[in-house]
Chains A and B, each alone.
Chain A
């Protein structure tokens, strides 16, 4: 049965995706919600929260305000705090209750911006979707509001789709930056881990964007559409696929089509890689090139970028379907919380913060541009 799980975890929600995407940019992000969205995000989805100074809040919606449509309470609270704390921008998003009562979030953002003189915008969420559309919408909005026309810089690469939900604070994002430098690129804006709003403003000066998660696709498309910055999808996992991906960036920068993730043939599949599509497809490509292991991607979020999947891959966000599919594989690479449905195949745990939160955070490896040593314990 869909949308039901007997034992599996669930991915971080769209509201967490918004907060995670905007965490480092100096704005104030507010979820229109009673309570719960904030503690869930700050406990399980945001490893930067402790001693962080990001302005992320909830509106503390009450039943009477929800029923009576008292939007003025939310507007005046946003205005009061914004005037007091002076954020660079104000982003608001909705949980299920405002979605259910039909609160006009865009109008509220417009009103708050008018009252405070601070740029404000609404990011589309309703608490019923995964982090991917939430973060994707947030990235797109921040680029739409702040990116400015700029002169193109040769060799400059944006990294788009970086959040701890997909790339925990275990060095992966820094390794991606280093890998770019090692390949002769200049690192532009890394949206959004280790970047500022000024970096966002200058994103149009990049020659190409590297999309490392499905959360980055919409912003990359916007940059392509508005400023002609092409993009390439992929995560530089392993040694060989990292080279392929670097070549893809060079090709894209030269104005050629590049689809590094399309190299898999689907012959003699033994392994399944579960998770977000761009990361998983990159892992599958790395397995093929570095280890000679043919792997299939089982996309388990349900809202990843499906265009990177091959015909032999599958999107299976439901527990039942996923369990049936896993029974077909002798090697499974997935977050440890998938283990109960993994059947008899050899299970290689690869924690994904967006799924298991901080449970296995300490075990998340940095796989960027290096040997796939995390497989060694399994004898592969």
Chain B
């Protein structure tokens, strides 16, 4: 927990050198910072082309997801069934879901190819049998693929709703005859930055890629079933995406988003081995990253940099990269670190990096509102908000940047962010980074 400074309510950070890993702060009541770029289950499920979403839950839970769709101008793909007290105790929850969905489907102008039906904590606590629901709906509407999805934030100790969503995201995909030229880039909401050498390696092996955000039709989406293998780069998604191996027999190669040169090269070694090609010469790409970092250092000098955990799953890794190249990383905003960050944490500690670690959820963060300060260069929306700066790199989940090429792109974004101010409030209020918005 944080303690107020001099009796006021402002939060006080923990120095990285004193911080515990992986959780520097105790849990407790949680604050919600107004940075909305992180995707929720609505955004992710909307990636399935020609699909429709139905949420069956309490009004409080419905409100957030329905308005997510409204802001995306996608209300025609969103419906709901609201649960009340009588539904909790009637013992007819399965029937309620089936009847509610059927009523909605019968009102739709045409049948969608796929319907994602979202159940809630209430269903889980009641022991609701989704197989019965799915079976009944599939019998009633054999032309529609029904996918059981879950909005169950209470299950904090089990799989997160985000990870659960990734697991269900590919459920309708069936095994197709293998297309040896196709590699699936799975477990990410965004298309990869094509600056990444990942694409050069795949091209050298004669491969083309499947990316969900680029799929325009349901058929294109289903074509993942023909992929020779898949690549996953996001830690949250990998635990779920690897299920593809169990369900479709498709290998999933985990090549984590990272910033350590050796780790990046080890990922490519793994990839080349899977592709059956000789070790790829990454020296030119590594050199380009070094050059970009050196040039950026010249531009930024000792300007303070702040990073948050929504910008990248590896804020410590990113901080280490920057510190090792002479940048002044001043603070990191993260409530917890993923286990994969251990090495970066230890190295930063060994370097004696003078970095403040702040939580984002602690109640005291309500009062973390300094005067506007454009001197701070933030990476991520929460870091921008908490530092009250208009100079920030607007990315979430790594922003699709990957490998040495990703580092080059990151340097470009940092240089641009330092030069061009953003309307922070407007930018970070936009819900779902990269999604359409009516705001």
Contact = CB atoms under 8 A, between A and B. Distances in A.
B154 A10 contact: no
Interface in A31-90: 33-40, 42-45, 49-51, 53-64, 66, 77-78, 80-81, 84-86
A3 interface: yes
A42 B30 CA distance: 13
B363 A57 contact: yes
Given A97-B125, A128-B58, A57 B63 contact: no
By size class, the interface of chain A is: 35 or more
B59 A129 contact: yes
Nearest to B34: A50
Contacts of A95: 58, 60
Contacts of B122: 96-97, 100
Given A9-B66, A66-B154, A337-B70, A1 B103 contact: yes
Interface string B51-84: 0000001111111101100110001101111111
B29 A81 contact: yes
B4 interface: yes
A326 to B, nearest CB: 15
Contacts of A96: 57-58, 60-61, 83, 88, 120-122
A166 interface: no
Interface string A186-224: 000000000000000000000000000000000000000
Given A49-B34, A63-B158, A359 B67 contact: yes
Contacts of B79: 4-7
A58 B61 CA distance: 14
A3 B103 CA distance: 11
A241 interface: no
A206 to B, nearest CB: 32
Contact of A42 (B9, B32, B439): B32
A14 interface: yes
A362 to B, nearest CB: 9
A242 interface: no
Helix, strand, loop or mixed for chain B's interface? mixed
B252 interface: no
Contacts of A43: 34, 36, 64, 67, 431
A11 B364 CA distance: 30
Nearest to A44: B67
B1 interface: yes
Contact of A36 (B64, B84, B103, B366): B64
Contacts of B60: 13-16, 33, 36-37, 40, 95-96, 127-128
B373 to A, nearest CB: 14
B100 interface: yes
B115 to A, nearest CB: 12
Nearest to A15: B60
Interface in B28-42: 28-32, 34, 36
Contact of B28 (A9, A40, A80, A359): A80
A43 B432 CA distance: 12
A358 interface: yes
Contact of A13 (B28, B29, B63, B99): B63
A13 B66 CA distance: 12
Contacts of B364: 84-85
B363 A85 contact: yes
Nearest to A125: B60
Contact of B156 (A3, A7, A60, A80): A60
B302 interface: no
Nearest to A59: B29
A357 B252 CA distance: 40
Given A55-B366, A337-B75, A359-B439, A64 B157 contact: yes
Closest 10 A/B residue pairs (Cβ)? A40-B64, A127-B60, A13-B60, A35-B153, A34-B154, A57-B29, A34-B153, A3-B82, A6-B107, A1-B103
21 contacts: A1-B103, A4-B79, A12-B63, A34-B154, A36-B61, A42-B32, A53-B367, A55-B366, A59-B29, A81-B28, A81-B29, A85-B366, A96-B61, A97-B125, A100-B125, A101-B125, A126-B58, A126-B85, A357-B67, A359-B438, A359-B439
Given A63-B157, A337-B70, A359-B438, 16 more contacts: A3-B84, A4-B82, A9-B70, A36-B151, A38-B32, A42-B34, A56-B32, A60-B27, A60-B30, A60-B361, A80-B1, A86-B9, A97-B122, A128-B60, A358-B71, A360-B438
